[in-house]
Structure 1
Amino acid sequence: MNLSQYTKEFSYNLTLAYPVILGMLGHTLIGIVDNFMVGNLGSTELAAVSLGNSFIFIGMSLGIGFSTAITPLIAEADAEKDDKKIRTTFHHGLLLCTILGIAIFIMIVLAKPIMRLMNQPEAVVDLAAPYIDWVAFSLIPMIIFQGYKQFADGLSQTKYSMYAIYLANVVHVFFNYVLIYGIWGFPKLGILGAALGTVISRIMMVVFMHFILRKNEAFKRYFKNFTFKEIKKSILKKIINLGFPSALQMLFEVTLFTAAIWLSGSLGKNSQAANQIALTLASSTFMVAMGFSVAAMIRVSNAKGMKDYKQLITVARSIFLLAIIVEIFFGLVFVISHNFLPHLFLNMSDASQQFDNAEIIIIAAKLLLVAAVFQISDGIQVVVLGALRGLQDVKIPMYITFVAYWLIGFPISYYLGTKTDMGATGIWIGLLAGLTAAALFLYIRFASLTKRLVLENA
C-alpha cells in the first residue's frame, strides 16, 4: 500500500476534526476549571466534585452517545443531496435529545442514594449530593445542544459548536469564580457555585447555538415550520435503533472509568484525588481522538452515501493512522512530565495539605505512566468506533465494547486494585487491558465489514 494515499487525506481530516477537538476540549475545560478552582478549597471538596461528576459523566455519555446517531444520517443525506431527509432527521433528532435530557436528569437525581452504598467517605458524600442536583439539571441544555451539534457536524460544519462551547467557557469561568469564592457581592457557595456556573454556561451554549444556526444562510431552510404533526414513528425508530446501541457503547466505556473512580475512592481520598488528576489529563488528550472519531464518522457516511467503498476504506485508514501518530506524541509527553503535571492541580502553598499532596503526586505520577500507554489503544478504539457509526454498524460494536470493558478490563482493575499492593496503578492496568481489547476487536470488525462491502459492490 502506498502511504501517500493516506497522508494526502490528513489535511482535510484535520480541517474537519480540529473544531470538534477544540469543542471537546472546551467541554473538558469546564471540568478542569471546576477541579482547579475547587482544588484550592481542599482535597475533600476535590473528591466530592470527582464523585459527583462520576454520576454526571454516566448521564452525559448516554446523551452524547445517543445523539451521535444524528450525524451519520445527516451526512449520508448530505452526500445524496436530500434536503427533505436532512430537515426531517434534524427535527426528529432534536425532539429525542430533549426528551432524553429530561429523562437523564430525573434518573441521576433518583440514583443519588447509591453514593451511600459505595463505601465513600461520609464528608465527601454530603458535599457531593447538592452538587449533583444542579449539574444533572445542566444536562438538559447540554443534550439539546448535542442535537444541534450533531446536525451541523453531519453537514461537515464542525466550527459552530466550537464557538458555542468557548462562549460557554467564558461564562463558566466568570460565574465559577464569583460564586465559588463569593467575589463582587456574590454569595460564597463553594462547590455549589461550581455547579451553578455549569448550569448557566450550558443554557447560554444551547441558546447561542440555536441562534447562530438559525440565522445562517446554509442552515436556515432546515429550521422552518416545525410541527409535531410531521413527527413519524418510523423516523424516530430509525434514530433510536442507531442511537441506543451508540449510547450503550459510550456508557460501557464511561462506566468503566467511573468504576475506576469508585474503586480509587474505596482506597482513600488521596487515591481518589490522584485518579481524578490523571483522569482529567487523560480525558483532555482523549478529546483529540474524539475529534478524529467524528471526522471518521462524517467522511465514512459521505462515502457510504456516494457508494464509493474503496475511497471509504482509504479515508478511514488515513484517520486511524493520524490518530495513532498523535496519541503516540501525547504518550511521550506523559512519560516525560509524569512527575511535574500533578503539581498543577494542587495547592502546593498550603502547609496543612502538604502530607496529602505528597501522596497524591506519587500516585498520580504512576497513573500517568499507564495512561501514556493506553492513549494509543484508547485513540484507536474510539476512531474505529466513529468509522463503524459512519457505516451505521452499531449493534455488534456494542457487544464488542461490553466484552472488552466489562468482561476483560473491569475484572483486571478490580483484582489488581483491591487484591494486590498495586492499588490505583492496578486499577489503571485493567483500563489499559480493556481499551486494548476493544481497539483490536473493533478494527477486525471494521476490516471484515468494509472488505465485504467492496466485494459486494465490485
Structure 2
Amino acid sequence: MKLATYTKEFAYNIKLAYPVILGMLGHTLIGVVDNFMVGNLGSTELAAVSLGNSFIFIALSLGIGFSTAITPLISEADAEKDDKKIRTTFHHGLLLCTVLGVFLFIVTVLSKQIMYLMHQPKIVADMASPYIDWVAFSLIPVIMYQGYKQFADGLSETKYSMYAIFMANVVHIFFNYVLIYGVWIFPKMGVLGAALGTVISRIMMVVFLHLLLQHNKKFSTYFKNFSFREIKKSMLRKIINLGLPSAMQMLFEVTLFTAAIWLSGSLGKNSQAANQIALTLASSTFMVAMGLSVTAMIRVSHSKGKADFKEMIVVARSIFLLAIILETIFGIFFVLFHTYLPHLFLNMSDSAQLLDNQEIIGITAQLLLVAAVFQLSDGIQVVVLGALRGLQDVKIPMYITFVAYWLIGFPISFYLGKYTELKAVGIWIGLLAGLSAAALFLYIRFARISRRLVIQNGN
C-alpha cells in the first residue's frame, strides 16, 4: 500500500487523540499542583505527599486499566448502530467502576501499613497516613469518572472528559490554596488541605462530566431510566473478562517503573533524583502515545463492529506510523538536549548543591539517551495494546506484558543496576529491554489476529 493510504488518516487520528492527551496532562497537573503548594510547607510535607501518592497511583492504574473495557464494547455497538447495546454497556460499566472504586478505596486504606515496613522515616509515614485516607476516598469519584469517560470515548467524543478535567483543575487550585494555607474563612490544614482539595476536585470532575453528557443531545438518551433490574450477570461478566486483564497489563508496567524508582533509591539520593527527572520527562512524552492508544482502541473496535477488517488494518497501521514519527521526534529532542534538560529541574544558583547537581546532571543526561531509544518501544507497545483492546483481545497480551516486564525487563534492571558499574543507566537499560520485548511480541500478536480476521471474513 502507498504511504498516502496511511497518512490521510493522520488528521482524524490527531482529532481523536489530542483531547485525551490534554486530559491526561490535566490529571498530571493535579499532582504537580499538590507538590508545588505542599513543597512550600517543607521537605517532610512534600515527602509525605509523594509517598502517599505512590500508593494512590498503583490503585488508580488498576481502575483506569479496568475501565478501558467499556470503550471497545461501546464503539463496536456504535458501528452496529445498536443503541440498546450502547446503553446497557454504559450502565453496567458505570456500576462496575463504582464498585471497583469503593473496593480500591478500602484496600488502599488497609495497605498503608506497608509504609512502615518499607523503612520510611516515621515522621513522613505518620503525616502520609491521614493524607492517604482522604485521597484514597477520591478513587471512588475518579474511577466513576473513568466509566463516563470511556463511554464517551467509545462514541468517538473524546473532548468532553477533557473539559471536565480542566474545570476540575480550577476547583483543585482554589481549594488547595485556601485549605493548605488557611485563607479567608478556611482553616489552615497543610497536607490534609491538599488531600481535601484533591477529593473535592475529583468529585466535581464526575459532576461536570455527568452534566456535560446528560445535557448533550447525542448522549442524553443513554441516561434515562437506570434500573438495577436491568443488570445482567452475562454483561457484568463480559466487562469483567475484558477489564481485569487490561487492569493487570497496566499494573505490570506501572509496578515495573515503581520498582525502578526503588532500585534507583537504593543506589543513593542522586541516582534517585536523576531517575525522577528523567522519568518526569519520559512520562510527559508518553502521554502522546497514550492518546494514540485510546484512538487505536476506538477506531479498531469501530471497524470490528462494521466487520471491515481491511479498513481496520489500514487504520491501525496509520496510528502505529503516527506514533513512530512522533516518538522519533521526541527521541531526537532528548538526544539533542540531554545535557540541558536536567538543569530545568535543579537549583543551579545554590553553591552548596553544586557537586550533587553535577552528578545528578551527569546521570540524568545518560538516562535521557536511553529514554530517547525507548520512546519508540514504549510508543509502539502502548498503541498496539490499544489496538488489541479494540479487538477485545486482552488475555494473551496480559501474559505477554508480564513476561516482557517482569521476566525480561526487571531481572536485567536489577542485575545491571545492583551488580555492574552501569548502576542507574543499567536500570533503564532493563526498562528498554522490557518495553522492546513487549512492543515486538504485541505487534506480532496484532498482525496474526488481523490477518486471520481478513482471511476468515474474506474482506
TM-score above 0.5, yes or no: yes
Q: Separation in 2 of the partners of 1:34 and 1:368?
A: 26
2:105 counterpart residue number? 105
Length-normalised TM-score, structure 2: 0.94
**1:362 and 1:39 mapped to 2: Cα distance?**
25
Identity %: 79
Asked whether 1:371 is paired with 2:371, we answer yes
Mapped pair 1:391 → 2:387: no
CA distance in 1, matches of 2:330, 2:44: 30
Deviation at 1:44, TM superposition (A): 4.9
Distance 1:229 1:259, change over 3 A: same
My pick for the range that moved more, 70-79 or 419-428, is 419-428
Give the deviation of 1:262 after TM superposition: 2.0
Question: Which position in structure 2 is the counterpart of 1:242?
Answer: 242
1:416 Cα deviation after fit: 1.8
Q: Count how many residue pairs are aligned between Structure 1 and Structure 2.
A: 458
Name the residue aligned to 2:79: 79
Match of 1:404 in 2: 404
Q: Would you say 1:157 and 2:145 are equivalent positions?
A: no
Assess if the C-alpha contact under 8 Å between 1:338 and 1:365 holds in 2: yes
Q: Are residue 140 (structure 1) and residue 140 (structure 2) matched?
A: yes
Is structure 2 residue 326 aligned with structure 1 residue 329?
Answer: no
- In the TM superposition, residue 18 of structure 1 has moved relative to its aligned partner by 0.9
Task: Classify 1:113/1:96 alpha carbon distance in 2 versus 1 (closer, same or farther; 3 Å).
Answer: same
**Post-superposition offset of 1:170:** 1.7
Seen in structure 2, the aligned counterparts of structure 1 residues 30 and 372 have a Cα distance that, compared at 3 Å, is: farther
- Please name the residue that 2:53 is paired with: 53
CA distance in 2 between counterparts of 1:176 and 1:426 reads 39
**Match for residue 116 of structure 1?**
116
- Residue type at the aligned position of 2:445: R
CA distance in 2, matches of 1:229, 1:151: 21
Q: Distance in 1 between matches of 2:264 and 2:46?
A: 14
| CA shift in 2, pair 1:143/1:350, >3 Å | farther
Contact 1:72 1:392 in 2 (8 A): yes
- The alpha carbon displacement at 1:37 in A equals 3.5
Q: Determine helix, strand or coil for the equivalent of 1:222.
A: helix
Q: CA deviation at 1:367?
A: 2.6
Question: 1:362: how far off?
Answer: 3.9
Counterpart Cα distance in 2 of 1:33 and 1:349: 24
User: What is the CA-CA distance between 1:443 and the residue it aligns to?
Assistant: 0.2
Asked if 2 retains the 8 angstrom alpha-carbon contact of 1:417 and 1:427, the reply is yes
- Partners in 1 of 2:41 and 2:271 — Cα distance? 18
Residues 20 and 159, structure 1, Cα contact 8 Å, conserved in 2: yes
Show structure 2 runs of 5+ residues with no match: none
Where do 5+ consecutive residues of structure 1 fail to align?
none
Correspondence 1:297 to 2:310 = no
Q: Distance in 1 between matches of 2:87 and 2:445?
A: 32
- Deviating more after overlay: 42-51 vs 385-394: 42-51
**1:267 shift after superposition:** 3.0
CA drift at 1:166: 0.9
Shift of 1:346: 4.3
The 10-residue stretch of structure 1 (148-157 or 104-113) with the greater mean CA deviation from structure 2: 104-113
Distance verdict in 2 for CA 1:46–1:435, change over 3 Å: farther
CA distance 1:412–1:128, shift in 2 (3 Å): farther
Equivalent residue letter for 1:71: T
- 2:446 is matched with 446
Query: What are the Cα deviations for residues 428-455 of structure 1, in whole angstroms up to 9, with x where unaligned?
Result: 2211111111000000000011011111
Q: Are 1:51 and 1:261, in contact at CA under 8 Å, matched by a contact in 2?
A: no
Contact 1:74 1:89 in 2 (8 A): yes
Tell me by how many angstroms 1:137 deviates.
1.6
CA distance in 1, matches of 2:452, 2:214: 41
Deviation at 1:231, TM superposition (A): 0.5
- 1:266 maps onto 2:256 in alignment: no
Corresponding residue for residue 2 of structure 1: 2
Q: Which residue identity does 2:285 align to in structure 1?
A: T
**Structure 1: distance between partners of 2:130 and 2:342:** 28
Match of 1:131 in 2: 131
Report how far residue 407 of structure 1 moved. 0.4
Larger mean CA deviation between 170-179 and 138-147 belongs to 170-179
1:27 is displaced (CA, Å) by: 1.1
For the residue of structure 1 that corresponds to 2:115, the secondary structure is helix
User: Post-superposition shift, 1:42?
Assistant: 5.2
Question: 1:330 Cα shift?
Answer: 1.4
Residues of 1 paired with 2:300 and 2:82: CA distance? 17
- The equivalent residue for 2:288 is 288
Q: 1:264 to 1:440 in 2, by over 3 A?
A: same
Q: Distance between the aligned counterparts of 1:355 and 1:185, measured in 2?
A: 45
CA distance in 1: counterparts of 2:60 and 2:197, whole angstroms: 17
Deviation at 1:17, TM superposition (A): 0.8
Specify the code of the residue in structure 2 equivalent to 1:279. Answer: L
CA distance 1:53–1:295, shift in 2 (3 Å)? same
Please say if residues 178 and 184 of structure 1, whose CA atoms lie closer than 8 Å, have aligned partners that are also in contact.
Answer: yes
Q: Distance in 1 between matches of 2:266 and 2:425?
A: 14
| Contact kept in structure 2, 1:179 and 1:188, CA below 8 Å | yes
Name the counterpart of 1:417. Answer: 417
**Paired AA for residue 421 in structure 1:** E
Q: 1:369 to 1:121 in 2, by over 3 A?
A: farther
**Residue matched to 1:254:** 254
Most deviating of 245-254 and 354-363: 354-363
Q: Which amino acid aligns with 2:264?
A: S
